[in-house]
A and B are shown apart, each in its own frame.
Chain A
Amino acid sequence: MHQYDFLDIAATAVQRARKLGGDEVEAFLSFARELLVEVRDGAVETLKQAEDRGLGVRVIAGGRLGFAFTTDLSAGGLAEATGQAVENARQAAPDGYQRLPDPAGDYPELELEDPLIRTTPIEEKIELARRMEEAARAADRRVRIIETATYQDSETEVTVVNSRGLVATTRVTRCGLYVALVAGSGEEAYTGFALDYRLRYADLDPEALGREAAARAVCMLGARPVGTRRVPVVLDPYVAASFLGVLAPAFSAEAVQKGRSLFAGRLGQTVAAAGVTVIDDGALEGGVASGPFDGEGVPTRRKVLIDNGRLAGFLYHTYSAARDRVDSTGNAVRASFKSIPEVGTTNFYLEPGPYSPEELMADLQEGFYLTDVIGMHTANPISGDFSLGAAGLWISGGQPARPVRGVAVAGNLMELLRDVEGVGRDLRFFGSRGAPTVRVARLTVSGR
């Protein structure tokens, strides 16, 4: 897919940095090809095609960590990046736990490449976005603006080589659809969206996504605030997955070690209601974050983080694992070749429970079915406090009855976990995060 010999470049970088004084050296190379199509009103608004490559060099010298990256893969570029990495290490504090992983035994075997993503002509991919847009418009005549109907795919090759003899290479293709729209009548307007990312081209269903986005917007028309009160709250899968996203950093062993996890000191304790099981699985079949190894070449695997309410484990990369004298869980995540691997989640989800979404609402005389939040990124993952702009449907007599917007919901993540009363069976992934519908005993809804 490109003209570079990644293994050769990586080996050269490792050797060079060793010569400059690195005790341990790692070279991480990536090459990515990306396609993005944005359709609006049947026409292509943006067609973006790209190629992106680069090298990241990590050096440990005397226990000090240094890192440098470059997009210049020539001999000169390599020389500068390796030199900088060694130079940067001099400024860091020595830390006896800094180390690189040893070569791994076996990597999980995963199907990560779909030839259809590579061979399908662009015209057909554009058509996919068009079909999604048409389905959204056809779903309800109150859909009045399509903000964007987007098709996206990528092909990525990654190589990790380190001075302990680790050599790992993988290739993955991914594709996805995203639609955002506005429904309205008269002065009133509300937004709706839907998205789906997959490893397989054939799994994309543009019509279903178009209809879903339309339904999300249309059901909110006529929404009004409610008075301030504490009520049971049912989170739809997207909102539940968003909450899970805020909780993700708390599962990092590094966050625990540094006193910035709300799960610190809680291992083995009950931190959530029975029925709450949280999984991270870097080797999940079909998962968009799946891969044979993590950002430093360690094999990925499935971990149970919360087991039926009990805190069962944390996520580790090589450094945090050395600090706790355990094995890395394969959770070194790199945003790109430009960054040092950090502890992060892969395919991260709440396991489905026994209930249908309807069953979770059936016995509620009054409640709030939360389908849209804004400001989730302002929730505090260290204290657990959150307060969000919210919209959804007011539940009355066991059913969603009328739309509500312009209210705020506030609480604390730890209380939210303990207050879970039921978990739905409708697990859905939004990219690499997934959750089913979740019912929570009560939250403060502030409004009029």
Chain B
Amino acid sequence: MERDLLQEVLYAALGHGGDFADVFVEYRRVTGIGCEDGKVERVQSGVDAGAGVRVVFGDSTAYAYTNDLSREGLLKAAQVVAHATREGKKGLEIDLRRVHPVVEFVIEERPEEVPAEAKAEAVRAADRAARAVSGRVRQVMVTYGDVVQKVIMANSRGNYVEDERIRTRFTVQAVAAEGNVIQTGFEAVGAFSGFELLRRRPPEDVARAAARRADAQLDARPAPSGRMPVVLSHEAGGTMVHEACGHGLEADLVQKGLSVYAGRKGEQVAAASITVLDDPTIPDKYGSYRFDDEGVPARPVVLIKEGVLVDYLYDRLAASKDERASNGHGRRESYQHKPIPRMANTYIAPGRDDPEKIVREAKRGLLVKKMGGGQVNTTTGDFVFDVAEGYLIEDGDVGPLVRGATLTGNGPEVLRTVEMVGNDLGFTIGTCGKDGQGVPVSDAQPTLLVRELIVGGTTGRVERRGEPRIRRL
């Protein structure tokens, strides 16, 4: 796409004034393969191309998108936003200059150069490996997906950025059953990378992890319920930090007063052993990028340093409201959405404690080895997340596997009451949803000891005297 055309589009968008305008052109090519019932059932691919044009005037945003990428189509979208613009400066001069990235990522095997047979074979291999784990594995669902997203971003400040994001994702869900009991196990890997992802973590490995989890859950006992100490293993991934504090540090929510962290910069908001960062520049992580979706070069951002709140996650709009620069966290799902402040790779920095010692010190409670999904109410900080693999801690040792547990707590409270921080770190991937937009993220933490969380289990029922033990379906 011609730089001159984008300049013309920006001028047209600012035709009725405005403080800022940008255009986001996207060309996305995706491949997806799904296997279930031991068969490759779904092989799909496609091209989604379009552009979004935005004008910011005062506190308002006008946004239009189209998948007509002709000059007429783009100018029509620009006129739609110009028409919606009611105020703002006039006569902005635009001189587009290319911005270069601060980090580079290396893609070893571009997905479009990998034969479709190889992708289908990876999926089949995972299916076979999962089924071989146990005769109790009844169903296996494997998905492979890759995305090659080319973007061009230009704005009225004169920034012009061309970028390419390549992401690959591989997931396995296994269903194990015995009698009337059905349990599931899930494992996912994903990265800003090409097909080399599956050389680093073979499909069979991913499959076996999912199948073993489903199989083991069949013999697990119901989780206890009530308040108790909880050890979050590094392998559990960072759902807790993502939900418990990440969302509350997004500047738009902070500015609207919708975050428990609003107005608390410089205050001690967590235990002194807690440092939280978001770093999109880590190579090979699922949430990584060279530029955010507003053309701002990615950089690591320290959010909480030794317990003290030092920064929030900003996009351009939230940054201009606070009269500062964006720190490269304006992201969007696609050209169909306006950018908003988002996380990328969020993690709690490793500490000094030996993970085994942490379990000993906990004495009793729950050890979480794998977390599932989660959700947070950023206004109150209340969060909940699913425990996909959890063990009782009895007398300082890892005890039996339990199932059906969730953890409920309050983000700021948990971070204040972390008692030990391990010297390890483990990442998990996810798709984070906010305002109806999903973006790829990863998150991580070291092994942590939290003195008290609410474990929501179902033991209340099965342990009652005289009541029949009810098997779960």
A65 engages B42 (CB within 8 Å)? yes
Partner-binding segment picked from A51-59, A161-169, A358-366: A51-59
Tell me, yes or no, whether A91 is within 8 Å of chain B by CB: yes
Assess A374 versus B377: contact at CB under 8 Å? Given A46-B63, A47-B62, A182-B257. Answer: yes
Tell me, yes or no, whether A185 is within 8 Å of chain B by CB: no
B461 proximity list for chain A (CB < 8 A)? 230, 444
**Interchain CA distance A412-B183 in the complex, whole Å:** 12
Tell me, yes or no, whether A404 is within 8 Å of chain B by CB: no
B62 proximity list for chain A (CB < 8 A)? 46-48
Q: Which single member of B48, B58, B404 contacts A410 (CB below 8 Å)?
A: B404
B470 engages A374 (CB within 8 Å)? no
A408 proximity list for chain B (CB < 8 A)? 225, 384, 406, 408, 454-456
B63 engages A47 (CB within 8 Å)? yes
**Interchain CA distance A229-B459 in the complex, whole Å:** 11
A412 proximity list for chain B (CB < 8 A)? 458, 472-473
Task: Determine how close the nearest CB of chain B comes to the CB of A92; give it in whole angstroms.
Answer: 5
Tell me, yes or no, whether B385 is within 8 Å of chain A by CB: yes
**Interchain CA distance A377-B81 in the complex, whole Å:** 36
A182 proximity list for chain B (CB < 8 A)? 257-258, 379
> What is the 8 Å Cβ interface bit string for chain A, positions 79-121, against chain B (1 contact, 0 not)?
0110010011111110100000000000000000000000000
| Chain B residue with the shortest CB-CB distance to A415 | B470
Tell me, yes or no, whether A375 is within 8 Å of chain B by CB: yes
A92 proximity list for chain B (CB < 8 A)? 39-43
B460 engages A444 (CB within 8 Å)? yes
Tell me, yes or no, whether B92 is within 8 Å of chain A by CB: no
B138 engages A259 (CB within 8 Å)? yes
Q: Which single member of B177, B379, B383 contacts A190 (CB below 8 Å)?
A: B379
| Chain A residue with the shortest CB-CB distance to B386 | A378
- A residues 292-337 in Cβ contact with B at 8 Å: none
Tell me, yes or no, whether A215 is within 8 Å of chain B by CB: no
| Chain A residue with the shortest CB-CB distance to B34 | A340
Among B383, B386, B456, chain A packs the most CB atoms within 10 A around the CB of B456
Q: Which single member of B48, B60, B405 contacts A47 (CB below 8 Å)?
A: B60
- Please report the total number of B residues contacting A with Cβ < 8 Å: 78
B472 engages A446 (CB within 8 Å)? no
B379 proximity list for chain A (CB < 8 A)? 182, 189-191
B472 proximity list for chain A (CB < 8 A)? 383-385, 412
**Interchain CA distance A111-B39 in the complex, whole Å:** 41
Tell me, yes or no, whether B338 is within 8 Å of chain A by CB: yes
Assess A51 versus B67: contact at CB under 8 Å? Given A374-B376, A377-B375, A385-B403. Answer: yes
- B residues 273-318 in Cβ contact with A at 8 Å: none
A448 proximity list for chain B (CB < 8 A)? 227
- B residues 123-149 in Cβ contact with A at 8 Å: 138-139, 141
**Interchain CA distance A405-B375 in the complex, whole Å:** 15
Tell me, yes or no, whether B99 is within 8 Å of chain A by CB: no
Partner-binding segment picked from A68-76, A195-203, A283-291, A428-436: A68-76
**Interchain CA distance A380-B138 in the complex, whole Å:** 17
Q: Which single member of B43, B375, B456 contacts A387 (CB below 8 Å)?
A: B456
> What is the 8 Å Cβ interface bit string for chain B, positions 210-247, against chain A (1 contact, 0 not)?
00000000000000011100000000000000000000
Q: Which single member of B40, B47, B80, B383 contacts A374 (CB below 8 Å)?
A: B383
Tell me, yes or no, whether B59 is within 8 Å of chain A by CB: yes
B338 proximity list for chain A (CB < 8 A)? 46, 48
Tell me, yes or no, whether B120 is within 8 Å of chain A by CB: yes
| Chain B residue with the shortest CB-CB distance to A46 | B61
Tell me, yes or no, whether B175 is within 8 Å of chain A by CB: yes
**Interchain CA distance A47-B139 in the complex, whole Å:** 46
B49 engages A72 (CB within 8 Å)? yes
**Interchain CA distance A51-B120 in the complex, whole Å:** 34
Q: Which single member of A44, A46, A230, A389 contacts B408 (CB below 8 Å)?
A: A389
A51 engages B406 (CB within 8 Å)? no
A410 engages B470 (CB within 8 Å)? no
**Interchain CA distance A51-B65 in the complex, whole Å:** 6
A50 engages B405 (CB within 8 Å)? no
| Chain A residue with the shortest CB-CB distance to B30 | A338
Q: Which single member of A80, A87, A147 contacts B116 (CB below 8 Å)?
A: A87
> What is the 8 Å Cβ interface bit string for chain A, positions 373-411, against chain B (1 contact, 0 not)?
011111010111101110100000000000001111111
- B residues 422-473 in Cβ contact with A at 8 Å: 454-458, 460-461, 470, 472-473
Tell me, yes or no, whether A353 is within 8 Å of chain B by CB: no
Tell me, yes or no, whether B84 is within 8 Å of chain A by CB: yes
- B residues 141-196 in Cβ contact with A at 8 Å: 141, 175, 177, 182-184
Tell me, yes or no, whether B395 is within 8 Å of chain A by CB: no
Tell me, yes or no, whether B394 is within 8 Å of chain A by CB: no
Assess A409 versus B473: contact at CB under 8 Å? Given A93-B41, A378-B373, A448-B227. Answer: no
| Chain B residue with the shortest CB-CB distance to A56 | B46
**Interchain CA distance A207-B86 in the complex, whole Å:** 27
Assess A407 versus B184: contact at CB under 8 Å? Given A71-B67, A189-B379, A190-B379. Answer: no
**Interchain CA distance A445-B285 in the complex, whole Å:** 38
**Interchain CA distance A410-B387 in the complex, whole Å:** 13
A95 engages B39 (CB within 8 Å)? yes
| Chain A residue with the shortest CB-CB distance to B371 | A378
Tell me, yes or no, whether A43 is within 8 Å of chain B by CB: yes
Tell me, yes or no, whether B75 is within 8 Å of chain A by CB: no
Assess A48 versus B384: contact at CB under 8 Å? Given A92-B42, A93-B41. Answer: no
B375 engages A389 (CB within 8 Å)? yes
Tell me, yes or no, whether A232 is within 8 Å of chain B by CB: no
A19 proximity list for chain B (CB < 8 A)? none
**Interchain CA distance A383-B183 in the complex, whole Å:** 6
A259 engages B46 (CB within 8 Å)? no
B458 engages A80 (CB within 8 Å)? no
Q: Which single member of B50, B384, B408, B458 contacts A444 (CB below 8 Å)?
A: B458
Task: Determine how close the nearest CB of chain A comes to the CB of B456; give it in whole angstroms.
Answer: 3
> What is the 8 Å Cβ interface bit string for chain B, positions 187-210, against chain A (1 contact, 0 not)?
000000000000000000000000
Task: Determine how close the nearest CB of chain A comes to the CB of B47; give it in whole angstroms.
Answer: 5
A389 proximity list for chain B (CB < 8 A)? 375, 377, 382-384, 406, 408, 456
Task: Determine how close the nearest CB of chain A comes to the CB of B203; give it in whole angstroms.
Answer: 15
Among A40, A72, A89, A385, chain B packs the most CB atoms within 10 A around the CB of A385
**Interchain CA distance A444-B120 in the complex, whole Å:** 45
Tell me, yes or no, whether A45 is within 8 Å of chain B by CB: yes
Tell me, yes or no, whether A145 is within 8 Å of chain B by CB: yes
A388 engages B43 (CB within 8 Å)? no
B141 proximity list for chain A (CB < 8 A)? 260
**Interchain CA distance A44-B86 in the complex, whole Å:** 10
**Interchain CA distance A91-B376 in the complex, whole Å:** 41
**Interchain CA distance A228-B375 in the complex, whole Å:** 22
> What is the 8 Å Cβ interface bit string for chain B, positions 18-44, against chain A (1 contact, 0 not)?
000000000000000100110111111
Task: Determine how close the nearest CB of chain A comes to the CB of B371; give it in whole angstroms.
Answer: 10
Tell me, yes or no, whether B410 is within 8 Å of chain A by CB: yes
B46 engages A84 (CB within 8 Å)? yes
Tell me, yes or no, whether A170 is within 8 Å of chain B by CB: no
Tell me, yes or no, whether B336 is within 8 Å of chain A by CB: yes
* 4 extra interface residue pairs, beta carbon distance < 8 Å, beyond A407-B454, A446-B456: A65-B43, A88-B43, A387-B386, A446-B225
Interface residues of chain B, those whose CB is within 8 Å of chain A, are 33, 36-37, 39-50, 58-68, 80-81, 84, 116-117, 119-120, 138-139, 141, 175, 177, 182-184, 225-227, 256-258, 336, 338, 372-377, 379-380, 382-386, 403-406, 408, 410, 454-458, 460-461, 470, 472-473
Sample (26) of A-B pairs whose CB atoms are under 8 Å apart: A46-B60, A47-B60, A49-B80, A49-B81, A51-B66, A54-B48, A56-B46, A67-B45, A80-B47, A84-B46, A91-B117, A93-B39, A95-B39, A95-B41, A228-B225, A378-B372, A380-B184, A383-B473, A387-B386, A407-B454, A408-B406, A408-B408, A408-B455, A414-B473, A444-B457, A446-B455
Q: 6 smallest A-B Cβ distances: which pairs?
A: A408-B456, A389-B384, A69-B46, A387-B406, A375-B384, A378-B386
